[in-house]
Structure 1
């Protein structure tokens, strides 16, 4: 993220926290200003942000080098005051208890996104209750009910757009690593669902190795998303602190036991050295990864002794699995939704291996989506699905 954009986001968050603005309103404000400021800064324009708090309200003014039409204003997740011009103004209610602003942009973004998801979930629940009450009234309210249905459809579409923004914020983009191509595809159970329990994380360690975490939290909806985020954050922290790769799953489980006693999740970890191709896997109850080479049949990489996930009895990876990837070799990591669509895991894994063979020459960026599309041609059991592809390439 550009340093000037990061400063703008931090300034907005600090002003909101000091004024007591709710986390969900803060998240919509930060996202709205980001959508305006990022392209402007990229184009070399100036973005001026001013904040003023008084009488339990916060005023935020953003001035750009170009005019913003009313149509563009209406498309923002938090609507500013009406009008055309290069200046946009928001007024937000404050008065809540102030709290320290998290200086980490990723953690602050996730906190705001989860607050927005919780708010949307509450609004949807209230909307369902209201519709039920109206349905029980006499026929004289029928016209109002029809109008409510139309507005509900508009609200659903608006929420769907916001949820896609939330998904983008919760699911990090692949890191840029010489000698390695990475790609991902996420397919939710319900296209209108705000989130799920299938999440991933990938980052480059100080020694140049790439760490990948894939989590499938038990349950659905906002709670499973929070649990999956908690696990990915815990493992990232432990990995960056230098804890042994073999112990990360068990250590994360023991650490989170007191914080989230109901949390249960399968976990698959990968640690890849782009320079040598040496790749290690730690598996805590997760589907086995698949290795695809240019000339040999695709194969599963089962652990010699199956491990258990976070929140399960005796958690951790019993044995590490190691493979050396040559240039052109690909590793596929996925959640169980990919192979359980026809309610037969063995049949699903056999189809996956056959498909991986046929698609071995596909570009890395297309491979995850193509696998999900073909594996889900018949869906008898619907579940969230994540597919990650890691392909070793000649260094540029």
Structure 2
């Protein structure tokens, strides 16, 4: 390892000395420029006060790469006062170490070529004067460093432009993918909606056409993600010509509650067609379902209407009461107490009887219609007002119109079912 030292009284001398040794040891022009800038910045105060500075350098060959000329160049700059530790880490080429007045840089380099025979000798870098090369040579090296930096900047600019173009192309591809995904999502939503509508229609009983009676229904689930819930209805004509109507509200939402409601409606239909008394059907349904599903809890409203005579009978199991709106505009709720499926002591306490006159409107519903604002008493008052305001509409339009009025504000979303029955007297 060879060690050499040069004294430098001015910034120009220091620059020439650093450039000379850096060139002779094959440093990249950009790295050389960083080293020159760093050394002159550290020595700025010393040369400004004419105290001067010295630079020492040594080259140690790489033992693992014998014969290649590669090694480590150590450059030590001695100043007249210790530099701040933080300042040397923020230099263009951060220092590797600080020892008192010495600032040290270690950079990979090549061994300097031997000085020509008969050439100048001295304490300067690789021969020559202590101040290194002359001003013209120093300017040429500075120009080389500037061109290297500019070439590096141009390369970075070109790379940035290339990356920008690739990013724009990628963004275009991503945007196109998003468009495709959105189109696919729309197709899936459409197919999903169609499937849900078909499922909902499959759960509905066939429309009834009964002379002297008009029936219409409106159903809306609590959320758009589930087309069905625990609110179901069933209607059919018994052998004696009376129309049986079942309204069920099973606990919960979604498919599970739908299954429970279907079990209830199927059991009620079976019992009704077997001829069981209307008042006994709620309790008998509980007896039938209890061994199969102990989790079923549902409110039930049963109504039977004779289209010929207008006779109406109602049984109730914990369900909201039916609303009867007479032709003259008077309205009242048909209160029939009882307990629903899965409740303690299930069954209807009594059978309520009424007689409908032509033009009278009977409204059967679930609590999602009257409790959307969390106040069932207020909801029942509003339901009477809505029924009166829409009673002159065609029967098919009445349930939906009433639901629209009742749901102007929804604080408690729930499945909603509204079923209208009007005696025409035909």
Query: TM-score, structure 1 length as denominator?
Result: 0.61
Report the equivalent of 1:338: 369
What does 1:104-183 align with in structure 2 at a 5 Å threshold? 146=178, 151-183=184-216
Pick the aligned partner of 1:307 from 338, 346, 353.
Answer: 338
Report the equivalent of 1:184: 217
Residue 213 of structure 1 deviates from its aligned partner by: 0.3
Larger Rg: 2
SS of alignment partner, residue 359 of structure 2: coil
Report the equivalent of 1:211: 244
What does 1:185-334 align with in structure 2 at a 5 Å threshold? 185-303=218-336, 306-334=337-365
Number of residue-to-residue matches in the alignment? 254
Report the equivalent of 2:152: none
Residue 143 of structure 1 deviates from its aligned partner by: 7.7
Change (3 A) 1:144 1:217: farther
Deviations 1:121-150 (A, max 9, x none): xxxxxxxxxxxxxxxxxx9x9889946565
Report the equivalent of 1:117: none
Residue 176 of structure 1 deviates from its aligned partner by: 1.0
Residue 236 of structure 1 deviates from its aligned partner by: 0.2
Q: Is the 8 A contact 2:307 2:425 kept in 1?
A: no
Structure 2: stretches of 5+ with no match in the other structure: 1-170
Report the equivalent of 1:76: none
Q: Is the 8 A contact 1:298 1:356 kept in 2?
A: no
Pick the aligned partner of 1:374 from 405, 408, 421.
Answer: 405
Give the Cα separation in 2 of the matches to 1:241 and 1:252: 13
Q: Which runs of 4+ in 1 moved over 3 A?
A: 141-153
SS of alignment partner, residue 319 of structure 2: coil
Residue 182 of structure 1 deviates from its aligned partner by: 0.5
Deviations 1:284-339 (A, max 9, x none): 01111000111142211112xx2111111110100111110011111000000000
SS of alignment partner, residue 347 of structure 2: coil
Structure 1: stretches of 5+ with no match in the other structure: 1-138
Residue 173 of structure 1 deviates from its aligned partner by: 3.3
Q: Is the 8 A contact 2:230 2:257 kept in 1?
A: yes
Residue 355 of structure 1 deviates from its aligned partner by: 1.4
Give the Cα separation in 2 of the matches to 1:191 and 1:301: 32
Change (3 A) 1:280 1:145: farther
Report the equivalent of 1:353: 384
Deviations 1:184-214 (A, max 9, x none): 1111112342311100000000000100000
